[in-house]
Amino acid sequence: MDSHSSPNQTYKIGILLIDGFALMSYSSVIEPLRAGNLLGKKVLYQVDHIAAGNEREISSSSSAVIPTNATMSENKDYDLILVVAGGDPSSFKDEQTFQWLRNKARYGARLGGVSAGPVILANAGVMKGYRMTVHWEHAAALSENTPNLLLERSLYIMDRDRITCAGGVAPLDMMHALQSEIHGPEFARKVSDWFIHTDVRPSGDPQRSGMIERFGTHHPSIIQTLEIMENHIADPLNLRQLALLSSISPRQLNRIFIEKIGRSTMSVYRNLRLEKAHNLIQQTVLSLTEIALATGFSSSAHFSKAFQEKYSSPPSSYRQDTRSKAQQL
């Protein structure tokens, strides 16, 4: 399971604030952590505020001032580093910050970006081969400046050791998923209820009804499991792990999928990954090996066989046909 900290350990988070950051996005990140510590009756989440450079405080776009309590030069170890930005992220060109993020990535740190924060991550060069999202205001410019990014219009995306979020109130949904991963769904629900955040949205769709309409079911265990699947495309979980995160037994989960959807849990999961690969072949210039890795296949041969079984054509031929049709238009 993609768990980065034991439930009994303090989860250490570094929040890197960029001058002019979006206050609502920041609040939607920090408040669930505060509430988690309160409801857990101990320090479950230790948060450091870091500024680019050695500033003692950093201002939001609405002039709210947040004091910092750590610097990049301290070289602390974090379970997660989240970059929160706003305004015009393309104007941020601090090479020291970019190098710090690259170093953290090189040594296996989990990195994230909120609102315009994903632009900072992309410009630092740490998003290659990862699915990502960003606030819609920055999406067009980011796509134009860095066309090979796996950019999607989702609320948030958790892809292996990268987390990106569109900002606004979407971090509330992202933090629910993160807290579910670390401390379990029941605890995450307590935090969401604390904020009267009763309709937690899945990562890939702005409304839960999208999944309901697609799969034709309202069953909460299926909806929750589908969301977990969407968050683990490149690092697929097994049935036991899916069931554990959905607070249900593997046997019950599989029975519900077969009863409500007509397919086994892992068959639905495999189809989701292949559909993602299908979109990447159509919309990107990534190599087939990169696409295989981005959708959780252990080898190009395994990916090619699975793709051909579903689409009656190997991925190489499908890409060639797609390009030929595009040239004829």
Domain ranges of the chain: 11-182, 207-329
Tell me the per-residue pLDDT of 209-258, one tens digit each, with 9 for 90 and over.
456 667 777 788 888 898 888 878 888 999 999 998 888 999 999 999 99
Condensed to tens digits (0 to 9), the pLDDT of residues 41-69 reads 999 999 999 988 778 889 898 889 999 99
Full-model pTM: 0.72
Domain 207-329: what homologous superfamily? Homeodomain-like (1.10.10.60)
Please give the pLDDT value at position 137.
83
Q: Would you say domain 11-182 falls under CATH 3.40.50.880? A: yes
pLDDT at 7: 56
If DSSP states are collapsed to H, E and C, what string results for the chain?
CCCCCCCCCCEEEEEEECCCECHHHHHHHHHHHHHHHHHHCCCCEEEEEEECCCCCEEEECCCCEEECCECHHHCCCCCEEEEEECCCHHHCCCHHHHHHHHHHHHCCCCEEEEECHHHHHHHHCCCCCCEECCCHHHHHHHHHHCCCCEECCCCEEEECCEEEECCCCHHHHHHHHHHHHHHCHHHHHHHHHHCCCCCCCCCCCCCCHHHHHHHCCCCHHHHHHHHHHHCCCCCCCCHHHHHHHCCCCHHHHHHHHHHHCCCCHHHHHHHHHHHHHHHHHHHCCCCHHHHHHHCCCCCHHHHHHHHHHHHCCCHHHHHHHHHHHHHHC
What pLDDT was estimated at residue 67?
A: 94
What's the confidence (pLDDT) of residue 325?
Answer: 61
pLDDT at 317: 87
Tell me the average confidence (pLDDT) per consecutive run of 10 residues in the chain, 329 residues long.
56 94 94 95 95 84 91 90 91 92 94 95 93 85 79 87 92 93 90 85 55 73 86 89 89 94 95 89 80 89 93 87 60
